């Protein structure tokens, strides 16, 4: 078990230290659970906005653009009205995920390199 190996290493390094092994920490479990919930809730809201927003945007485009063209008494070519295709939407969704990950990577790496003292001093 990792805890016992750690305890042996600590005792070997300094006999003056007293070490008491304990079970799972409920405070840590609660903190991790809360952080997980607070991370997943905005992600859920964003995905629901996307699942509703994309079809509504496509429907609005198909309804508004022809009416605008009719209001101007012009005929638009099909290439201007049929712009949303499933492969394009898949590429755009993938690009959005890549942009989000790359945008979060730099601050996350910077934060991971900070010491606890630096974090607390900046708070």
Does residue 106 share a domain with residue 64? no
Does residue 100 share a domain with residue 76? no
Residue 32: inside a domain, yes or no?
Answer: yes
Does residue 90 share a domain with residue 54? no
Does residue 95 share a domain with residue 68? no
Does residue 92 share a domain with residue 69? no
- DSSP letters spanning the chain: -HHHHHHHHHHHH-TT---------HHHHHHHHHHHHHHHHHHHHHHHHHHHHHHHHHHHHHHHHHHHHHHTT----HHHH----HHHHHHHHHHHHHHHHHHHHHHHHHHHTS-HHHHHHH-
Rounded to an integer, what distance in angstroms lies between the CA atom of residue 39 and that of residue 108? 14
Domain carrying residue 66: 25-81
Residue 12: inside a domain, yes or no?
Answer: no
Mean pLDDT, residues 97-120: 87
Does residue 75 share a domain with residue 48? yes
Q: What is the pLDDT, as a whole number, of residue 1?
A: 66
CA–centroid distance for 70 within its chain: 42
Residue 5: inside a domain, yes or no?
Answer: no
pTM of the model: 0.47
**Domains held by the chain: number:** 2
Give yes or no for residue 42 having a pLDDT over 70.
Answer: yes
In the structure, what pLDDT confidence band is assigned to residue 95 with cuts at 50, 70 and 90? very high
């Amino acid at each position: 078990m990792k805890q016992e190996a750690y305890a042996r290493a600590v005792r070997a390094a300094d006999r003056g230290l007293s070490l008491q092994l304990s079970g799972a920490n409920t405070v840590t479990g609660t903190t991790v659970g809360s952080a997980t919930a607070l991370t997943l809730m905005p992600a859920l809201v964003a995905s629901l906005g996307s699942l509703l927003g994309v079809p509504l945007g496509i429907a609005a485009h198909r309804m508004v653009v022809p009416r605008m063209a009719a209001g101007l008494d012009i005929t638009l070519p099909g290439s201007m009205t049929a712009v949303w295709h499933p492969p394009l939407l898949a590429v755009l969704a993938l690009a959005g995920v890549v942009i989000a990950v790359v945008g979060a990577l730099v601050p996350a790496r910077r934060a991971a390199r900070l010491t606890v003292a630096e974090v607390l001093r900046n708070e």
